[in-house]
Amino acid sequence: MKYHFQNASICPAARIAFEQADVSEDEVHDLTNAARHIDQAMGILKKGYDLGSLTSSDYDEFLAHIEDAEDILEEIGVLEDHEYIREDLEPRAAELVDVDHVDLTDDALEVDLEENWLF
């Protein structure tokens, strides 16, 4: 796969995983699209670090890129079990959401909050 990650410093494991993914020639295009989505999600995370927070819209866009990448990876059957996506990147982004400016009607945020309830 010939894709240059712009935001690999956020999660070097993502770049390495994509570079080492074993796919057929027919799947390279899909793998590249998934890599772009992950890179864009990492770019949003980087923006949050640079600004000190993310808006709920930023978080929604982040989640959309993650979900699109996961769908593609599941379809081609590679990297679908890589924990860095949901166990590293998503919590890091969620921590940056500016709770003072959260739209409580935001469905994606509601789902995320519901999934993280302890009881």
pLDDT at 60: 94
In DSSP terms, which residues pair with 19 in a beta bridge? none
Q: CA 80, CA 23: separation in Å to the nearest integer? A: 13
Largest CA distance in the chain: 47
Q: CA 79, CA 76: separation in Å to the nearest integer? A: 9
pLDDT at 79: 85
pLDDT category of residue 7 using cuts at 50, 70 and 90: very high
- SS3 breakdown of the chain: % helix, strand, coil, rounded to 5? 70, 0, 25
